[in-house]
Amino acid sequence: MGFENFGTVSFTAESKVADFITQLEAGKVMATRCRKCGGSYFPPKADCPKCLSSDVEWFEVKSKGKLQSYTVVNYGPSGFENDAPYILALAEFDEGIQILARLSRDIAEKDIKIGMNLTVNPAKLPDNRIAYEFKRV
């Protein structure tokens, strides 16, 4: 299986990094690292453009992230109408990567502060879909 059940609406399914989904279902959010040159990637890459190796390994994003920015989306595009309002956010992690995801619905808008600590966690969505989201530490 690939990305067909990822997020509210998925647009394409096949990828060499589809193992990401298997690991997400097992409770882990993973990134890739090149075994040859050490380059780390999120979104995960199956190939390393720095040294042209395709020998990459998975590692789990375990650190606390820092919120870089966010927006409350009140107007969802086609396919997302019933999700709105939702909060999109970008966070930076110690592993040298940034991740875009939604903030968990249990974080109230008044409690959001740029720079706040977050973790990234798998999130079950309706209809057996899956994604990841940011939670408060």
Binding residues for other proteins (CB under 8 A): 3, 6-12, 15, 42-43, 68-81, 83-84, 86, 88-90, 97-102, 114-115, 131
Q: How far apart are the first and last CA of the chain?
A: 32
In Å, how far from its chain's centre is CA 45? Answer: 13
Q: Which is nearer to other proteins, 70 or 118 (CB)?
A: 70
Q: Which is nearer to other proteins, 38 or 85 (CB)?
A: 85
Minimal distance, residue 114 CB to other proteins, in Å: 4
Query: Would you say the C-alpha torsion 40, 124, 5, 104 has a positive or negative sign?
Result: negative
Q: Which is nearer to other proteins, 27 or 115 (CB)?
A: 115
SS3 12: coil
Minimal distance, residue 137 CB to other proteins, in Å: 19
For residue 93, give every residue at least 6 positions away whose Cβ sits within 8 Å of its Cβ, in sequence order, or none. 42, 61, 63, 64, 65, 99, 120
Minimal distance, residue 51 CB to other proteins, in Å: 19
